[in-house]
Amino acid sequence: MKHRVFVDGQEGTTGLRIHEYLAQRADIEVLRIDPERRKDAAERARLLNEADVAFLCLPDAAAREAAALVTNSKTCLIDASTAHRTAAGWVFGMPELAPGQRDKIRAAKRISNPGCHSSAFILLLRPLVDAGIVPRELAVSATSITGYSGGGKKMIEQYEAGGDAKLDSPRPYGLTLAHKHVPEMTAHTGLSVKPVFQPIVGNFLKGLAVSVPLHLSQLKPGTTAESLHAAFAQRYEGERFIRVMPLRDPGTLEQEGGFFDVQACNDTNRVDVFVFANDSQAIVMARLDNLGKGASGAAVQSMNVHLGLDEGLGL
């Protein structure tokens, strides 16, 4: 029997990519809405309640409204918006978050899909906090450089139209220090202090890398580059979508004079984790495709876990 899936907001960047993943699946029946009725609440409600799994690829307010339309207790919602990422009753859709997270996703009917920046940040900090290496009260900062597809259709059109010189260089944003990913970055790492987060958009379609600088003297006494790397290796052992790269990764350092390739995980559901360090300082980094593991790929991965399927099916 096929699993019935509906994507509410199928015309957006995340929704389109989810459809691409599902199109190759013989085990999925995609429920589609007539384009002329995509704003018809009654028709959307019908499809949401007919689905075994429904993805919400909508702005936050619209996602909350869509969730309220679901009365079928058997429908599992996977919300790709920011609306429910720290909400009570919703399970965070990151199977690699901690032991037991897959069981929570499997049992849940309300799953919040992580954001792209926060996915990389959480996968870097959560293992270190859980291991006691990073104190929960440590004031942490992070920088993320990302492709413009994370800004949605309007930003994609702006960049791809060309002719605007200011788009040629990287553009820092989120300068109010209130980026919408910060609450989940705090809640799901176990940190008690909000990180200072600096995102930067660059003139390339997709790819993302988050960097977190650390002073070893501020961490658990005796922490070294090797113990940081070992914490990642232990936590992510056996995880098919997370690759812990060699310490001070020679392949990365030797390529083109040591420049880091932000786009090397594009078109995969993979996250690469790095530790670069000297005797007193470290930079931990995570790289992913902001449209893959940072959005649509993560949502499909959570669907697979929830349905009891092979986690990598279609990915």
> Would you call 80 exposed, middle or buried from its count of C-beta atoms within 10 A (0-12, 13-18, 19+)?
buried
- Residue 56 and residue 64 in contact, taking contact as beta carbons nearer than 8 Å: no
- Closest to 142 measured CA to CA, from 294, 293, 286: 286
Would you tell me the crossing angle of helices 225-235 and 116-130 to the nearest 10 degrees? Answer: 110
Distance CA 159, CA 122 (A): 29
Distance CA 140, CA 282 (A): 13
- Residue 248 and residue 275 in contact, taking contact as beta carbons nearer than 8 Å: yes
**Residue type at 81 in one-letter notation:** S
Give Cα separations from 287 to 3, 111, 165, 207, 274 (angstroms). 32, 23, 27, 8, 9
Distance CA 272, CA 125 (A): 14
- Closest to 108 measured CA to CA, from 315, 312, 306: 306
- Exposure on the CB side of residue 20, measured as CA atoms within 13 A: 13
Query: Can you tell me which residue has the tokens 């009753």?
Result: 89
Active site residue 57: no
Can you say how many angstroms the Cα of residue 175 is from the centroid of all Cα atoms in its chain?
21
Instruction: Return the active site residues.
Output: 116
